[in-house]
Amino acid sequence: MFFVWKENMSVDGGVIDDDHRHLIDIMDGLMILVSNKAPQGAVIAMMKALLDFADKHFRREEALQQASGYPDAPAHMEKHRKLILDLENYITNLSTISCAELTPEQCRERLHETKRFLTRWLIAHILGEDVKLRPYAMKMTPLASTMTQLRKSA
């Protein structure tokens, strides 16, 4: 396990946590692909799946923030836009060469680099920003209860 959802990441005990668990599952899957020296096309496809799910999740989280009167919602939304841009740029700049074609040291370095990027990209956002939503979780419940699980439609 490279990435695993932990209790200290809990925000609402509901849809946000569930989305975060799924995002972290995709990130873990990505690390497994890289460590197994999977074709780079598969790695890039999984990165795009992460981008797609993150985009849907961020919009849901933003709607929940608005519904709960979270005062920092506009600034938080800006952070989400930046995360999307960062991941888009990361995907654009990804090498087309797979780990199988690299030396073992280069492949190890790519694995570490991928983990560093994903940690900064999402784990830092959850622990640094999303946890600030905890006091508003109760107010999110009415809207959250109308939301279906995203991962089923993903």
Measure the CA–CA gap between 41 and 25, rounded to whole angstroms. 19
Window contacting Fe ion (CB under 5 A); options: 26-34, 114-122, 129-137, 143-151:
129-137
Q: Which residues contact 33 (CB under 8 A, 6 or more apart)?
A: 42, 43, 46
For residue 80, the minimal CB distance to Fe ion (Å) is 6
Kindly state the helix (H) or strand (E) to which residue 79 belongs, with its residue range.
Answer: helix 73-92
Contact yes or no for 11/129 (Cβ under 8 A):
no
Q: Considering only residues 63 through 102, tell me which ones interact with Fe ion, judged by CB under 5 A.
A: none
Exposure of 132 in the CB half-sphere (CA atoms within 13 A)? 12
Total number of residues binding Fe ion (CB under 5 A)?
1
Which C-beta is closer to Fe ion: that of 17 or that of 130? Answer: 130
Stretch that binds Fe ion, among 13-21, 42-50, 105-113, 125-133 (CB under 5 A): 125-133
Q: Which of 24, 130, 136, 144 binds Fe ion (CB under 5 A)?
A: 130
For Fe ion, the binding residues (CB under 5 A) are 130
